[in-house]
Structure formats: C-alpha cells, structure tokens
Amino acid sequence: MEGRMQAKAQFSDSNRRIMEVDAPPRRVYQTWKGSNIFLLGGRLIFGPDVRSLVLTVCLIVIPVIFFAAAVCPQLGHEYHSQVGGWVASVAIVFSAYILAILLLTSGRDPGIVPRNAHPPEPEDIGESSNLSDWPGGQHGSTSLPLTRDVLVNGVLVKVKYCHTCMLYRPPRCSHCSICNNCVERFDHHCPWVGQCIGKRNYRFFFMFVSSTTMLCVYVFAFCWVNLKKIMDVHECKLGRAFLKSPISGLLILYTFFAVWFVGGLTSFHLYLISINQTTYENFRYHYDRKTNPYNRGLGQNFIEILFSRVPSSKNNFRAKVKEDSATFTSSLSMGHVISPAKMSVDLEMGMKRQAVAREELEDLHSQIGSAMGLERCGTEPPHFVARKGCSEIASDIEAFAGEFGMENGFGERKKIERHTNDGS
C-alpha cells in the first residue's frame, strides 16, 4: 500500500508539472524582479511605499474641502455676491489637476532600465574600461571592471557596473535601493509620491510641487481676504475675526508651513533645472572641479527638461513572457544560470534515469510473475501476501510506467500474461 501511495504521489507531481507547462503565459509585471507594485494589470507601476500616497492625497484634499465648505460660503456672504462660489470652483478644479499630475508622477515608469538576462561578456567591454578599478583585472581575472569611461559632450564620465541588473549603467543612471531598479537620470526616490523620480516623470514631479505651492498661496491669500472682510464688516480686531472664522485661521497656519516645504522644493528644483543637474548629482558630485557635461545654458536646459518630448518606456509590463524566458528567469531567481553544457548533462542524466527506471520495471514485473506463480501453486510465502497483494503491485507498476511514458509496453506485457494465464 505504501508503494502505491508513493507511485500516486510521483504521478501527481508529474501532472502538476504538466499543468504548469500548459498554464497560460505570464506577463512581464508578474515576473518583475524589482520591488514595484503593479495595479490594473500592469498599467500602473508604483514604488513599494505607495501607501504614503494616501497621506499625500489627504494633505491636499482635506484642506481644500474645508476651504470650499466653510471659508468660501462665508466669503460670498460677506461680499453679497457669487464670488465665494467662483473661489471654491477654482480651488476644486486646481486640486483635481494636482491629483492628476500626482498620478502621472507616481503611477508611471520613471525611466527603468531593463535588466540583462546574463552579465556582459568580458570581450564585449571594450578598451574604455577602467582596469585600475578592476578587482584582479591586472592579474588575468575574468571579473568585469567596476567602471567604464564614457565620453559625454567632450567630457569623460565614469559609469558603474550594477551587479543586480547586470549592466553598465547609462550616464546619470543610478540604482534605487528602495525600488531595486536602475533608473535613467535618477533624481531621488520621493516617499511622498511613493516612486522614483527619473527621466520620464521628473517633469510631472516639478509640475506637482510647483502647482501645490500655488494652491497653498491661493488658499492662504483668500483666507486672509476673508478675515480682512470680517474685520471691516464687524469692526473688530484680528483676534475676534479668528473666532468668527476659525477655519480661516487654521488654514492660514497650515498653508504657511506647507508653502515653506513645497515652495522650498520648487525653488531648489528651479535651480537644478537652470544648471541641468539632478538632486543625486548635486548632493554627491557637485561638479566642484569638473565641468558639468550636461549644462547647455539656461534656456536650453529649461527646454530640454520641461518642454522636450517625454521618451517612451523601455519596458512593456503587459507583454507576455516567453516560455524560455520564464525558464531562464526562474533559474536566475534560484541564483544560477543554466548553461548549454549543463543542459546537455541534465539531458544525459535524464536518459540514464529512464534506463534505470526500465530496469526497475523489469524487476518488479518479474516479481509479479513469481508472485502469481506462487499464488497459483499455493506456495506463496505468508509475509509477501500480508504485505501487498498482486493487484496492488500491478496498479503500482502501472502508475510507475505511466510516470515514465511506458504505458504501451506495459499494456503489451499485460496482454501476454493474460493470454498465458488463460492457456494454463
């Protein structure tokens, strides 16, 4: 009985493998090696800290709701006109625009460089590799150099090799440790939007922080207008006006502190755009003693960053993964790559296993024959009968034969035995 259960377990494992092969092909986002979170079938890509996006949305929407529901009606009542409705409408539409820009910033590919399936060959690296940074490179090691020299606008720039993505990063590219991706023109990873800021979404990030700054100024200004009108109508001082419209006072304090944050970011990134530099470059390199190879002048820098065409993504997250690619990806996730030599060895070992299986099948078949003969003669040992019946052994061998694709041979032998038994 135990052998029968083992044979069934092996047969079920084989069925499971067949089902995995026949399963529908997976898509790129389902086998993605980064730490990203995908939504809507791979149409939206976020960073692993996408939950912070909820807090960012609340910090924008909730103050606008209080402004439109409490301050604007009071403003219209004080002025005896529809000005409150217009002020509220502008705030709501502008907030919707900011949320759309926020989604474009956090929900799209920031410029991820696709990973290599295998490291580049040493002979493909070229003469521009920096051998001094090559561990053991001067002693004939087959390791890859850590850096390469690339010419950018007449200036020699070093690019590093990424061991995770198995590629030499393009200039201005860096590996984000949070998203676990190499990102082109990497600026920084922003926790407020839950995404890396790179070549494809930097423009939208700047539009987001600058628009949020303008919204803060807008709410701040009209809250002051409301308090000033209350002071004029009721002929009171500022303290009493705060008591008559406490929401206006709270929003003034809130927007005052918020504008220092988003306004400071806007000013800092205006400076970076003017010199065509990223936050990462500004904090790490500073270009103190070297010429910035990317600075093309004030006008050209603004045109390149804010008004040029956004490059297409290098990744199609909804594309179907080929079977061989999926096999290769699974081998990479196990920490090794199956070489052609290794595949030939595995094939040879598989053929040997089949030969051994056939021999085991012959032995079991002979045991069945002897068991049947003993049973007919009444001389079968008692312990053999107690352990397993002939029908159970036959079913075990049938399952075993089905596992190795030998059902036809087993069926023919079974017919011969039946014919012999009938003749006897």
Q: 190, 196, 216, 223: which one is catalytic?
A: 190
396's tokens = 């075990």
Q: In sequence order, what are the beta bridge partners of 129?
A: 148
For residue 98, with 0-12 CB atoms within 10 Å meaning exposed, 13-18 middle and 19 or more buried, which class applies? buried
* Letter string b/e over residues 357-376, b meaning 16 or more CB atoms within 10 A of that residue's CB: beeebeebbeebeebbeeee
357's tokens = 């299986």
Determine the residue type at 248.
S
Single out the residue of 221, 273, 292, 206 nearest to residue 251, CA to CA: 221
Per the CB < 8 A criterion, the answer to whether 306 and 207 are in contact is: no
**Going by C-beta distance under 8 Å and a sequence separation of 6 or more, which residues neighbour residue 224?**
248, 252
Per the CB < 8 A criterion, the answer to whether 133 and 125 are in contact is: no
190 counts as catalytic = yes
CA distance 251 to 262: 16
Per the CB < 8 A criterion, the answer to whether 248 and 228 are in contact is: no
Strands 181-183 and 174-176: antiparallel
Catalytic residues: 190
